[in-house]
Chain A
Amino acid sequence: MNLLEAKNLYKSFGNINAVSDISISLNVGEVIGFLGPNGAGKSTTMKILTGFLEADCGSIEIKKIDLSKDPINAKSIIGYLPEGAPSYSDMTVKSFLYFVGKMRGLKDELLEKRLEIMLKDINLTEVQNQIIETLSKGYKRRVGIAQALIHDPDILILDEPTDGLDPNQKFEMRKLIKSISKNKGIIISTHILEEVEAVCSRTIIISSGKVLLNKETKDILKNKKENLDSIFRKITK
Chain B
Amino acid sequence: MKLYIEKLMIIFNREFTGYFRTPLASIFLLVFLALSAGMTFFMGQFFQRGQADLNSFFVWHPWLFLILMPAIGMRLWAEERKSGTIELLMTLPVTNSQLVLGKFLASWFFTLLAIIMTIPIWITVNYLGEPDNGVIFISYLGSWLMAGCFLSLTSCLSMLTKNQVIAFIVSTISCFIMVMAGFGLVLASVRSWAPLWLTEVIQSFSFLSHFKRIQYGVLDLTTFIFFISMIMICISINIFLVQLKKAD
Contact = CB atoms under 8 A, between A and B. Distances in A.
A82 B88 contact: yes
Interface string B187-212: 00000000000000000000000000
Given A52-B246, A52-B247, A47 B88 contact: no
B247 A53 contact: yes
A89 B14 CA distance: 13
Interface string A28-70: 0000000000000000000100111100000000000000000
B124 interface: no
A90 B85 CA distance: 12
Contact of B22 (A73, A90, A104): A90
Contacts of A82: 84, 87-88, 91
Contact of A86 (B21, B22, B84, B246): B84
A99 B87 contact: no
Interface-centre pick from B14, B22, B83 (highest chain A CB count, 10 A): B14
Interface of A: 47, 50-53, 71-73, 75-76, 78, 80, 82-84, 86-91, 99-100, 102-105, 147
A78 B7 CA distance: 18
17 contacts: A51-B90, A51-B91, A52-B91, A52-B246, A75-B92, A75-B93, A78-B91, A82-B87, A82-B88, A86-B83, A88-B14, A88-B83, A89-B83, A90-B22, A103-B10, A103-B92, A105-B93
Given A47-B87, A86-B85, A99 B93 contact: no
B85 A72 contact: no
Interface of A is mostly: loop
Contacts of A105: 3, 93
A91 B19 CA distance: 11
Nearest to A105: B93
Interface-centre pick from B3, B88, B90, B247 (highest chain A CB count, 10 A): B88
Interface residues of B, number: 21
Interface in B9-66: 10-11, 14, 18, 21-22
A52 B93 CA distance: 11
Contacts of B90: 51-52
A167 B200 CA distance: 69
A72 B93 contact: yes
Contacts of B14: 88, 91, 99
B5 interface: no
Contacts of A102: 10
Interface of B: 3, 7, 10-11, 14, 18, 21-22, 83-85, 87-88, 90-95, 246-247
Contacts of A99: 10, 14
A103 B91 contact: no
Given A88-B83, A100-B88, 4 more contacts: A51-B90, A75-B91, A87-B88, A104-B92
Contacts of A52: 87, 90-91, 246-247
Contact of B21 (A87, A91, A104): A91
A35 B92 CA distance: 25
A102 B17 CA distance: 15
Contacts of A90: 18, 21-22
A53 B90 CA distance: 9
Given A82-B84, A86-B83, A50 B95 contact: no
Contacts of B84: 82-84, 86
B10 A50 contact: no
A87 B91 contact: no
Instruction: Name the 3 nearest CB pairs between A and B, nearest first.
Output: A86-B84, A76-B93, A82-B87
B26 to A, nearest CB: 14
B131 to A, nearest CB: 42
Contacts of A89: 83
Nearest to B83: A86
Contacts of B246: 52
A47 B91 CA distance: 9
B92 A100 contact: yes
A209 to B, nearest CB: 16
